[in-house]
Structure 1
Amino acid sequence: MNRVSVALERRSGAWRPPTLQTLPSAVAANVAEMRARTASTIMAVVKADGYGHGAVTVARAAVAAGAGWLGTTSVAEASALRAAGLAVPILTWLHPSGIDAEAAAATGVDVAVGSVDELRALLAQAASPVRIHLHMDTGMSRGGCPRGRWDELIGLARRGQRARRVRVVGVMGHLPLADRADPAANASAVAGMHEARRAVRAAGLGSPLAHLAATSGTLTDPATHFGMVRVGAGLVGIDPSGTVEMHGASRLTAPIVHTTAAPAGTPVGYAGTYVTDRATHLSVLPLGYADGIPRERLPQAGVEIRGRRFPIVGRVSMDQIVIDTGAEAFPVGTSATVFGPEGGATPGLRDWARWAGTIPHTIVTGIGPRVRRSIA
């Protein structure tokens, strides 16, 4: 929370500081949309603090709506979900600080291993059996074991399972082109997953759970579903394929902290890049690029106030943005919606992504820690 919003809150308990509100009902509706499109188990991926919406909040809503698994970046993130009382299976697969075998075994968290070296390191430290998923590179070239070493990885996993240091329970890959919403673009990765699954079975490791698709594959290509699908962005209303209207799961609001009447010819903000072309009113919101508001954006960018959209003018500052409200002079404390699920005058994440030349994921995961969080 920045200095302006703190002062505002102290002056009047009725005014809310900048707040990102998570909507669990929207998460549940998005899980229902996925369930209608697949017979596979749904993993709710809540990495990056639930795509900026709160990992525990999103996880609870998703599990209550029928998700059977959770996915995270690290064992530490998974352990926090366990501490919050979430008992469903959890898989972690990025391991930015390495794999904590002891914590994984103690909390019953599955880990993915994507290289021979990673599996060797895990086997060296595992005192109790750790549940593992063999992560195969199915075309992303961004992680996972390359095809030329699949047999080596599988053989090492088989030896580790016989030594009771690991238990192979899954095999996974990624779809590099799923956002195209074209099954032909997924065919190579699908074939690779079938190949990996056959190799694991041939090695005597049973029939571990196979999973390949994320949100886009889940929505557009049943051939990618296998035994489980991993839904992350879709939980919070983002469809990277652009084919399905999902339910936005957050709303960012901020109060007006300053309003002024400005004559025509008034420069606004640093460097005076915007100059009023008529007499108007300017209002300040206590949010800036330090809070996740993109500094570079199209002139169409705006916010909603009382059912109308007003443009952001001038440069985005570290702590503030200015909006041009025309003939309307809004009092200090009036709430503005920066983005939300309502539609109409309220901008959505896709609007902001278009204005900033990016993807919706970066908008919502970029909201800074000064912004208060709440749950609807």
Structure 2
Amino acid sequence: MTSTPATPPTPSTPPPAQAQVDLDALRSNVAALDARSGSAQVMAVVKADAYGHGLLPCARAAREGGASWLGVAQLHEALTLRRGGDQGRLLSWLHVPGDDFAAALTGDVDLSVSDHWALDEIAAAARATDRVARVHLKIDTGLSRGGVTADGWADLVGAALRLQAEGVLRVVGVWSHMVWADEPDHPTSARQLVAFREAVAVAERLGADLEVRHLANSAATLTTPAAHFDLVRPGIAVYGLSPVPQLGGPADYGLRPVMTLRGQVALVKQVPAGTGVSYGHQYTTAHDTTLALVPLGYADGLPRAASNAGPLLVAGRRTRVAGRVCMDQVVVDLDGLPDPGGVRAGDDVVVFGDATRGEPTAQEWADVVGTIGYEIVTRVGVRVPRTYLGARA
């Protein structure tokens, strides 16, 4: 007689941290970006699990906020959206040979093309599925990442139009990506605009009947109307972070941060002056003081480089990480706070959220480690559950 192993019970204790995602804020951000875009349509970029916020809930909210397009980097993200019920215009742009272009065409996903191999594989998938592929040809206007250079542009356009004449694809768009959109007056941006217009003119002269021309990312959507063309592609701004923090914060552009990363105090204890704190004793208490332990660390997305620097709001009071950011936890020194003895285990901790509520922001965390707000929100780890506020049935 054999016995069946018991199924482990579902844990009833929630993790000690959560990322609260405000979908009403996301809808509001998309509406604000739409209002700034003039006649251009809005493509909400939801790549990288919606910048760490959660792909499907954020994609739905972006549609509800007025996004007529969604954009993703990788094809599996596009197919996940289709399986999740999204039916609107959708562009995927970062591909490798062997990607499942047949599934993309069956799912009515628009595809970016930067090289002849992609045209060949997409055309083969179109013939196999009896579908007409919708392609956006990408021109490299100076970023030197994706896109064909100007020397090869007419050749790629011509090859695409021959396949269009065969009936296996349609060239529906021309696009590119900006180098220094976060510095609106940088001369490179002006040169890219000229190069992009020239590429569009070449494509149209060769016979392309384009639906959309698109160049603007978040920064250009907010600061460079000349780059709007037919479609803008905001990414980080959708999630309420400013792409140009040196020019203005989210509120200056009508944006609200979407994610709030929260935890709880796990332990409070008194220690004497001269106590070394955490690995390597990189922090030593200057006075008799109160320490609090917060179970969030670099496995949850807090940068280790924020040791002795990361801002926190503990029980409504501003402080910072004391000592190293560890894998699972950080310590804070409550010295100098009013009534530090009033902090208790279970009290709320905000890692980052909305400055209008007095909370630290993702941009502040970015500043202390010398990075960008994009990295702070996208690195929040998988063991931190996302909870959604403002979800609609």
- TM-score normalised per structure 2: 0.89
Q: 1:106-147: CA deviations, max 9, x gaps?
A: 110000001123222322333222110001111110110111
In structure 2, the residue corresponding to 1:231 is in which secondary structure? coil
The answer to whether 1:160 aligns with 2:163 is yes
Describe the shift of the 1:111–1:33 C-alpha distance in structure 2 as closer, same or farther (beyond 3 A): same
d(CA) in 2 for partners of 1:194 and 1:237?
30
Q: Residue 245 of structure 1 corresponds to which residue in structure 2?
A: 249
CA contact under 8 A between 1:297 and 1:357: conserved in structure 2?
A: no
Q: Which runs of 5+ in 1 are unaligned?
A: 1-8
Match of 1:218 among 205, 217, 221: 221
d(CA) in 1 for partners of 2:321 and 2:259?
21
The answer to whether 1:305 aligns with 2:304 is no
Identity of aligned residues (%): 38
Q: Residue 351 of structure 1 corresponds to which residue in structure 2?
A: 364
In structure 2, the residue corresponding to 1:304 is in which secondary structure? strand
Give the partner amino acid of 2:116.
V
Describe the shift of the 1:56–1:88 C-alpha distance in structure 2 as closer, same or farther (beyond 3 A): same
Describe the shift of the 1:245–1:311 C-alpha distance in structure 2 as closer, same or farther (beyond 3 A): closer
Which residues in structure 2 correspond to 1:124-143 (within 5 Å)? 124-127=124-127, 128-143=131-146
Which residues in structure 2 correspond to 1:1-376 (within 5 Å)? 17-39=16-38, 40-96=40-96, 98-127=98-127, 128-182=131-185, 184-242=187-245, 243-246=247-250, 247-297=256-306, 299-326=308-335, 327-329=339-341, 330-343=343-356, 345-376=358-389
Return 229-238 or 195-204, whichever deviates more.
195-204
Q: 1:167-225: CA deviations, max 9, x gaps?
A: 11111011111110227442211112211211221122213310011001111111101
Give the partner amino acid of 2:361.
G
Return 86-95 or 176-185, whichever deviates more.
176-185
Deviation at 1:241, TM superposition (A): 2.1
In structure 2, the residue corresponding to 1:317 is in which secondary structure? coil
In structure 1, the residue corresponding to 2:233 is in which secondary structure? strand
Give the partner amino acid of 2:326.
S
d(CA) in 2 for partners of 1:183 and 1:302?
32
Give the partner amino acid of 1:94.
L
Deviation at 1:83, TM superposition (A): 1.8
In structure 2, the residue corresponding to 1:174 is in which secondary structure? coil
CA contact under 8 A between 1:27 and 1:236: conserved in structure 2?
A: yes
| RMSD of aligned Cα (Å) | 1.8
- TM-score normalised per structure 1: 0.92
CA contact under 8 A between 2:180 and 2:186: conserved in structure 1?
A: no
Give the partner amino acid of 2:340.
E
Give the partner amino acid of 1:322.
V
d(CA) in 1 for partners of 2:23 and 2:94?
26
Q: How many residues were matched structurally? A: 365
d(CA) in 2 for partners of 1:74 and 1:161?
24
Describe the shift of the 1:82–1:70 C-alpha distance in structure 2 as closer, same or farther (beyond 3 A): same
Give the partner amino acid of 1:245.
G
CA contact under 8 A between 1:209 and 1:227: conserved in structure 2?
A: yes
d(CA) in 2 for partners of 1:108 and 1:208?
16
Give the partner amino acid of 1:35.
D
CA contact under 8 A between 1:16 and 1:255: conserved in structure 2?
A: no
CA contact under 8 A between 1:253 and 1:337: conserved in structure 2?
A: yes
d(CA) in 1 for partners of 2:111 and 2:197?
21
In structure 2, the residue corresponding to 1:358 is in which secondary structure? coil
d(CA) in 2 for partners of 1:124 and 1:96?
15
Deviation at 1:98, TM superposition (A): 4.8
d(CA) in 2 for partners of 1:147 and 1:307?
55
